[in-house]
Amino acid sequence: MIRCEGLVKIYKSDDLEVVALQGLNLSVEAGEMMAIIGNSGSGKSTVLNILGGLDRPTAGEAKVGEWDLLRMTEKQRIEYKRRTTGFIWQNNARNLLPFLTARENVEMPMMLSGNLDQKYATQLLELVGLKDRMNSKLQQLSGGEQQRVAIAIALANRPALLLADEPTGSVDSATTDRIMDIFRTMNQEFGLTIVIVTHDLALAGKVDRVVAIRNGLTSTEFIKRNPELDAYVYNRDIGRQILREQHEAFAVIDRAGRLQIPKEYLDALQIDNKALLACDGEKIMIRAPKSLEGKP
């Protein structure tokens, strides 16, 4: 379904060049549900924007099905975005028109493509659990309900590929679980290929495969081999391996000497509100309290 080889993306502004991707390789099978994770600035959102036809690669190869994303004309790019991909942003204001109802929002992309199907719009909203909220304006919906409307919109033109950029980043854990359940239903019942970009390691246990990106390169790949494996243990092991082998980040120290540690590091080490610190004269080591590690 997706094949990227030696993918390069360079952003240019006046005399400044920023290399967002520097030879990334990625392949995704049709019908797969996978996640791309990485630190801020690693290039994961750039990959998604290229796959969604929102950005053009600088060099390399990027293909989705029969579409060559590097060589498409602008007319072809519009057709590709309308009929092949659905896109969901963390900020659902980019998906939604606030002056329309939920149903009208879902029908809008159908109208733009010249294929209005009111019955299908209704089915989509029922599928995402909004049967009784179809005629509500957006200000009458919660943030989680708005994000589910955004999912229905992304599916309005029956895409083969669904792309989601931090789709659960602004909702609570219960809504996150519901959204991931919707994704899995779409994946299993319709054979929809789904690619999710996230920094949340907890999502690793909810997809088929996880790919880690660092500095614009595919650095590590994890495959979920045992569907019955406990998600909490699986997420913990993946997180520890990613952080041990791949991740490096700056942490902010305030005037009181307090250290602000990236949340994904804390999640991977199961650190909540207490941590053990140790210093060997050269390094400061941060660990989960021994009681949380099963030690006396």
Give the count of beta carbons closer than 10 Å to the beta carbon of residue 19: 14
**Angle between helices 143-154 and 118-127 in degrees, nearest 10:** 130
Average pLDDT, integer, range 116-145: 91
Cβ distance 197 to 164 under 8 Å?
yes
pLDDT (tens digit per residue) in 24-63: 899 999 999 999 987 777 888 899 999 999 999 999 999 9
Q: Which residue has the higher pLDDT, 183 or 222?
A: 183
Predicted confidence at residue 72, as pLDDT, reads 92
Q: Which residue has the higher pLDDT, 236 or 212?
A: 212
The single-letter DSSP state of residue 119 is H
> Mean pLDDT over all residues of the chain?
81
Pairing relationship of beta strands 193-198 and 16-28 according to DSSP bridges = unpaired
**pLDDT at 276 > cutoff 60:** yes
Average pLDDT, integer, range 158-185: 87
The percent helix, strand, coil of the chain (3-state, each to 5) is: 35, 25, 35
| High-pLDDT (> 70) share of the chain, % | 81
Choice among 30-39, 189-198, 208-217 with the minimum mean pLDDT: 208-217
Predicted confidence at residue 204, as pLDDT, reads 65
Query: Tokens for 105?
Result: 């929002």
Distance (Å, whole) CA 177 – CA 206: 9
Query: Strand, helix or coil at 202?
Result: helix
- Report CA dihedral (199, 202, 204, 206) to the nearest 10 degrees: -130
